[in-house]
């Protein structure tokens, strides 16, 4: 039986492969268009000759009209056909770029992890998005440009030889000289281009490294050092780009010079032939026109040659860089797979890096299905490397790892992925929603399966269950409650208003001490003066709370309600109190939280108070009035205990609140949305709409009581899952930067749990969790995983290892102790020393 020829790696495919791969039909259409355009380009030359010789010389006006019509038709057709060629080129090029990027990207993802230790992300990005773009563009023109222009040149040459063999021969002799000179210059340009590509990669990698480590740069103030490294690379890049550009311009200059010699020869030699009756005047005009038109296809060929050289350098440079074999091929085998139970047997395991550094030496142990192993030891003792070898992330150098009696190296990557889950100390969270991150591992497993549907919908109950198990469900609910509802979702709005009403009816008395519910008829001490006046939220950014003291319309309203001066007086009182209490304090002092006067405004308040000794409030500058008014409007009696709100002023504010909606409608209808117990609050969160009030400050446990009450009602209304779904659509930001370290670790653990692997590998996976969350994960491991899932956990906290079935103590890449917790403590060896120290 004839063996199947192994498929070439993507990195070993020729640049010219992409010219016809998937584009054969388009190239055939392109060939037909090219033939037509060549014909359309030659016709005007013959027409010019006949216009002069047969029409103008013989004064044949009818012939002039016919030939002129043929001429305009030919050049119009040539223009349209050129547009068609450009479109087909672009289509072929974009097809090539798209396919090239997809296949190279798929290859890069399969490369060994060790490859990425020396490869910066910026270099990968630059290669895929910039360097391959040039190669793809070349693939689009690789057939059309040379065929079009070579056929055009041949057609012109044949036509010129037909007109006059002697003049055509002398004129066309220039082109072999150009063909000899230009490659010499191009070789120099290629050398410079290779250096340019390498330097561009290094510069991209430097940028990626600095941005990835921006926290370290800013914490250590290493701005000058990073600028120095970047500046050195860009200076080198500038020099080599100038050299590269010089050679490219030299090629174009030489080409233009030789092409410019053509008319010179025609004038001298062609003029001589006309004088001696060996050449017609119309033929010489056709020669001059052809010589001019020869420049365009020749120039395009030179540009094509340069593009080919640039694309070739970048393409093969990129492919050579990524020309490595995957350590573990990811293949969907057609052979039936036996489900694993999770038994692990490790014998004489060793791991050595490519540079000869030994990280693991002669590791031997075994675990029954469902047993839990805690790996402890000093930093750099090989704990993480052991986990990664068992997870088939690195190929071990010596020894054996068997899963259910099957050697790990013989298991396909697919089987390993389906049966082993891995959680790292710093898990990567993708820039997407919580839902997409949660489903990531499950979907990846489904996609690898030969019969799996990558769009398989995971049951919502399962997702909620794993979120509850790892302690992330409360956060997801909070994300859902803090989101807003779309303006057309009336059903959700009605449900939330119904829940709001039930919250008051069922839990109003219980929450009364913790919450100040909104009521149109009463003053709210936990809301600012400005919030009490408006009793709603603005739909216009010009009427935002921080801009109201400067808003002329709002100031007019305050004057109409006789509130302007009283509020200025309140602002003055608050400013005096703040200056007396806080003058001289630091900006970070917590006392400022008890005042509506910020640290930045203390100095300005001092100036205003001094000025008021010689003038009145209504005579101070508009800027000073704005500051005092902003202080008064920000005053919240329930928080700012430095002074009390006068009763008369409070009554005036309530009266102004009642008239404020009518005044707003007279200015512009819909300027504000006003709070109403029977209406939904647009632009406010779901939580604010249900809660419809503010928590009283200084009451420990108030938030937990409120959360329990709201959760109870959500369950009662069968709306808990809806809020959970909204919460799972929360976007976690750039690589999860909207989540805390603990939330990222919980999400990573939940991500692994959702695919239900038989073996779970945890590399300090709970290091960022607080004590309560840590205890939750430990309880999950003890009650739900023990006996069902085999666990190997690198543990950073010694106080939590007592519940593990086995303990391994590592040192210098070896197991110095292995056994049960009690047995190792009784030995008073390495584990005893780690826990109690030397005694």
If one looks up domain 344-474+729-836 in CATH, what number appears?
3.40.50.300
pLDDT value of residue 447: 56
pLDDT in the model for residue 7: 64
Task: Check whether 657 has a pLDDT greater than 90.
Answer: yes
Q: Which range is least confidently modeled, 224-233, 342-351, 569-578?
A: 224-233
More confident residue, 651 or 775: 651
CA pair distance 792, 768, nearest whole angstrom? 18
Please report, for residues 101, 102, 110, 206, 440, the alpha-carbon distance to residue 115 in angstroms, rounded to integers and kept in the order given: 19, 19, 10, 17, 23
822 vs 547: which has the higher pLDDT: 822
Average of per-residue pLDDT across 576-597: 71
Place of tokens 């399962």: 462
pLDDT of residue 451: 46
Please tell me the predicted confidence (pLDDT) of residue 2.
44
Look at residue 449 and tell me whether its pLDDT is greater than 60: no
Alpha-carbon distance of 283 to 205, in angstroms, equals: 60
Tell me the pLDDT band of 230, cut-offs 50, 70 and 90: confident
276-302 burial string, b = 16+ CB within 10 Å, else e? eeebbebbbbbbbebbebbeebbebbb
- Can you give the pLDDT at residue 10? 82
Contact call for residues 376 and 795 (beta carbons, < 8 A): yes
* Angular region, 675: left φ>0, alpha ψ -120 to 50, beta rest: beta
Choice between 497 and 353, residue whose per-residue pLDDT is larger: 497
Greatest mean pLDDT among 82-91, 186-195, 200-209, 625-634? 625-634
Max Cα separation, the chain? 122
What are the extents of the domains in the chain?
Answer: 10-321, 344-474+729-836, 494-719
Work out whether strand 536-538 and strand 672-674 pair parallel, antiparallel, or are unpaired.
antiparallel
Top-level CATH class of 10-321? mainly alpha
Mean pLDDT, range 70-81, rounded to an integer: 85
Of the listed ranges 323-327, 543-547, 652-656, 747-751, the least confidently predicted one is: 543-547
Summary mean pLDDT of the chain: 82
Q: Give pLDDT tens digits for 175-222.
A: 666 666 667 777 777 788 778 877 887 887 778 777 777 766 765 567
Beta strand 420-423 pairing with 515-517: unpaired
Q: Of 212 and 307, which is predicted with more confidence? A: 307
Query: Is 135 or 583 the better-scoring residue by pLDDT?
Result: 135
Q: What is the mean pLDDT of residues 271-286?
A: 71
pTM of the model: 0.72
pLDDT at residue 705, rounded to an integer: 82
User: What was the pLDDT predicted at 52?
Assistant: 75
pLDDT at 686 over 60: yes
146 neighbors 303 (Cβ within 8 angstroms): no
**Per-residue model confidence as pLDDT tens digits over 776-828:** 888 888 888 888 899 999 988 888 888 899 999 998 888 889 999 899 888 88
Q: Reduce the DSSP state of residue 315 to 3 states and report it.
A: helix
What DSSP element (H or E) covers 76?
helix 61-109
pLDDT confidence bin for 88, thresholds 50/70/90? confident
**pLDDT tens figures, 595-623:** 788 878 888 888 888 888 888 888 888 88
């Amino acid at each position: 039986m004839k063996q199947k020829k192994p498929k070439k790696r993507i990195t070993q495919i020729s640049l010219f492969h992409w010219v016809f791969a998937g584009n054969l039909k388009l190239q055939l259409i392109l060939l037909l268009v090219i033939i037509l355009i060549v014909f359309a380009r030659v016709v005007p030359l013959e027409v010019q000759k006949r216009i002069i010789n047969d029409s103008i010389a013989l004064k044949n006006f009818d012939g002039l009209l016919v030939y002129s019509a043929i001429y305009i038709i030919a050049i119009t057709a040539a223009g349209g056909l050129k547009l068609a060629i450009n479109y087909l080129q672009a289509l072929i090029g974009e097809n090539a770029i798209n396919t090239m990027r997809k296949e190279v990207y798929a290859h890069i993802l399969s490369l060994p992890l060790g490859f990425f230790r020396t490869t910066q992300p910026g270099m990968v990005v630059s290669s895929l998005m910039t360097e391959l773009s040039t190669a793809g563009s070349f693939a689009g023109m690789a057939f059309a440009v040379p065929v079009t222009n070579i056929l055009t040149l041949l057609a012109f040459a044949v036509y010129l030889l037909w007109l006059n063999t002697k003049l055509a021969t002398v004129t066309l002799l220039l082109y072999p000289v150009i063909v000899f000179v230009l490659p010499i210059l191009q070789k120099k340009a290629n050398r410079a281009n290779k250096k340019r590509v390498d330097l561009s990669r290094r510069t991209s990698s430097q940028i990626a490294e600095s941005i990835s480590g921006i926290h370290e740069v800013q914490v250590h103030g290493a701005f000058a050092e990073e600028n120095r490294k970047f500046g050195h690379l860009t200076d080198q890049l500038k020099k080599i780009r100038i050299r590269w550009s010089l050679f490219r311009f030299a090629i174009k200059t030489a080409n233009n010079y030789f092409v410019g010699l053509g008319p010179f020869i025609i004038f001298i030699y062609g003029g001589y032939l006309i004088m001696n009756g060996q050449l017609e005047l119309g033929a010489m005009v056709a020669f001059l026109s052809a010589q001019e038109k020869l420049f365009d296809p020749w120039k395009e060929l030179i540009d094509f040659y340069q593009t080919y050289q640039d694309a070739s350098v970048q393409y093969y440079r990129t492919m050579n860089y990524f020309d490595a074999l995957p350590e573990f091929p990811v293949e969907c085998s057609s052979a039936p797979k036996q489900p694993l139970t999770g038994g692990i047997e490790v014998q004489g395991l060793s791991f050595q890096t490519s540079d000869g550094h030994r990280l693991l030496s002669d590791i031997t142990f075994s675990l029954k299905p469902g047993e839990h192993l805690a790996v402890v030891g000093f930093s750099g003792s090989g704990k993480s490397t052991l986990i990664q070898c068992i997870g088939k992330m690195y190929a071990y150098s010596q020894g054996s790892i068997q899963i259910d009696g099957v050697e790990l190296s013989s298991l396909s990557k697919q089987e390993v992925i389906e049966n082993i889950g891995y959680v790292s100390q710093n898990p990567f969270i993708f820039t997407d929603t919580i839902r997409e991150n949660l489903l990531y591992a499950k979907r990846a497993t489904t996609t690898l399966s030969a019969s799996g549907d990558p769009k398989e919908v995971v049951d919502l109950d399962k997702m909620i269950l794993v979120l509850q198990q790892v302690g992330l469900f409360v956060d997801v609910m909070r994300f859902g409650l803090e989101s807003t509802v779309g303006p057309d979702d009336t059903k959700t709005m009605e449900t939330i208003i119904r829940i709001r009403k039930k919250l008051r009816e069922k839990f109003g008395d219980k929450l009364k001490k913790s919450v100040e519910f909104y009521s149109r008829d009463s003053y709210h001490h936990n809301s600012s003066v400005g919030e009490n006046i408006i009793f709603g939220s603005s739909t216009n950014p010009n009427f935002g709370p921080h801009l109201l003291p400067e808003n002329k319309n709002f100031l007019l309203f305050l004057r109409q309600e006789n509130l302007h001066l009283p509020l200025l007086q309140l602002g003055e009182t608050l400013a005096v109190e703040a200056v007396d209490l806080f003058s001289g304090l630091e900006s970070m002092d917590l006392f400022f939280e008890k005042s509506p006067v910020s640290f930045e405004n203390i100095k300005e308040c001092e100036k205003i108070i001094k000025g008021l000794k010689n003038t009145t409030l209504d005579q101070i500058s508009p800027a000073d009035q704005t500051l005092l008014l902003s202080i008064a409007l920000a005053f919240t009696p329930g928080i700012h205990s430095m002074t009390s709100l006068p009763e008369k002023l409070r009554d005036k504010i309530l009266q102004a609140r009642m008239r404020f909606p009518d005044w707003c409608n007279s200015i512009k209808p819909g300027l504000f949305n006003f709070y109403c117990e029977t209406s939904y609050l647009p632009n406010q969160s779901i939580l604010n709409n249900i809660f419809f009030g503010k928590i009283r400050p200084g009451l420990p446990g108030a938030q937990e009581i409120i959360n329990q009450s709201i959760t109870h009602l959500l369950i009662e209304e069968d709306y808990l899952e809806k809020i959970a779904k909204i919460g799972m659509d929360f976007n976690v930001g750039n690589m999860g930067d909207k989540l805390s370290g603990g939330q990222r670790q919980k999400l990573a653990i939940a991500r692994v749990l959702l695919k239900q692997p038989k073996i779970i590998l945890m590399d300090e996976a709970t290091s960022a969790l607080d004590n309560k969350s840590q205890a939750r994960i430990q309880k999950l491991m003890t009650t739900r995983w023990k006996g069902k899932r085999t666990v190997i956990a690198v543990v950073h906290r010694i106080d939590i290892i007592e519940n593990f079935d086995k303990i391994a103590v590592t040192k210098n890449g070896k197991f110095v102790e292995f056994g049960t917790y009690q047995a190792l403590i009784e030995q008073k060896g390495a584990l005893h020393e780690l826990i109690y120290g030397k005694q």
